[in-house]
């Protein structure tokens, strides 16, 4: 992971708890985060509690809180867990800017592939990225993802249209390239 004063930073994932909702709400409404997402939500604690109850009850999604050295840092999720085709969607964001690093991003993404393909035995993982977010597109490519499609004017947010790049990692591609990748392993536990 990222170096701080000569030591490795530890990244862990855990189930989201009610005590996390204020941070998650703050992150999700942060313009630095929302500029790359499909919506700019106006969230409330009441709405966050309903959201948490909904994700806990759903067999189709899994959400984890990302912690760096024990500090809440962001959220990662999988969607489509009940999809009979074996295809999932995924997304994540690091809400705490000071805890972001390329090493953490690579470890999260590639460890998620290990989890999806080795533990869940799924066939493919898809992500959609605003095309203007070239840094994340480059990161996904570095991990081995392929671009499936680019859709022009695909998302309208506050009267502005955004192009979206759809990307994919398959179990076959990951099994062929995993041994060429160096990354810190992060454990994905019970949702």
Residue 34, C-beta contacts closer than 8 angstroms, at least 6 positions apart: 28, 40, 41
Number of structural domains the chain divides into:
1
67 located within any domain: yes
pLDDT for the residue 9 = 74
Going through 61-122 in order, the beta strands assigned E by DSSP cover 61-68, 71-79, 87-94
- 7-44, pLDDT tens digit by residue? 467 999 999 999 999 999 999 999 999 999 999 999 99
Query: Does residue 186 sit within a domain?
Result: no
pLDDT category of residue 191 using cuts at 50, 70 and 90: low
Q: Which of 43, 104, 38, 102 is nearest to 76 (CA)?
A: 104
Range of the domain at 9: 3-180
Residue 47 lies in a domain: yes
Note whether residue 121 is domain-resident.
yes
pLDDT in tens, 160-182: 999 999 999 999 999 999 999 99
| CA gap 39, 42 in Å, rounded | 9
Instruction: Examine residue 23 and state whether it is found in any structural domain, yes or no.
Output: yes
* 149 falls within a domain: yes
Read off the CATH number of the domain in which 116 is found: 3.40.630.30
């Amino acid at each position: 992971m990222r170096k701080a004063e000569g030591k490795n930073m530890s990244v862990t994932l855990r189930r989201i708890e009610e005590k996390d909702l204020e941070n998650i709400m703050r992150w999700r409404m942060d313009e630095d985060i929302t500029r790359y997402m499909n919506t700019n939500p106006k969230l409330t604690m009441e709405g966050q509690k309903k959201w948490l109850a909904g994700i806990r009850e759903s067999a189709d999604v899994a959400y984890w809180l990302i912690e760096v050295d024990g500090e809440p840092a962001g959220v990662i999720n999988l969607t489509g867990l009940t999809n009979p085709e074996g295809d999932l969607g995924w997304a994540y964001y690091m809400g705490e800017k000071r805890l972001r690093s390329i090493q953490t991003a690579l470890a999260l993404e590639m460890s998620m592939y290990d989890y999806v393909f080795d533990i869940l035995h799924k066939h493919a993982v898809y992500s959609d990225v605003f095309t203007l977010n070239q840094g994340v597109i480059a990161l996904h490519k570095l991990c081995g993802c392929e671009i499936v499609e680019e859709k022009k004017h695909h998302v309208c947010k506050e009267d502005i249209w955004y192009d979206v790049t759809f990307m994919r990692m398959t179990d076959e591609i990951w099994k062929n390239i995993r041994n060429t990748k160096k990354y810190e392993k992060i454990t994905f536990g019970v949702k």
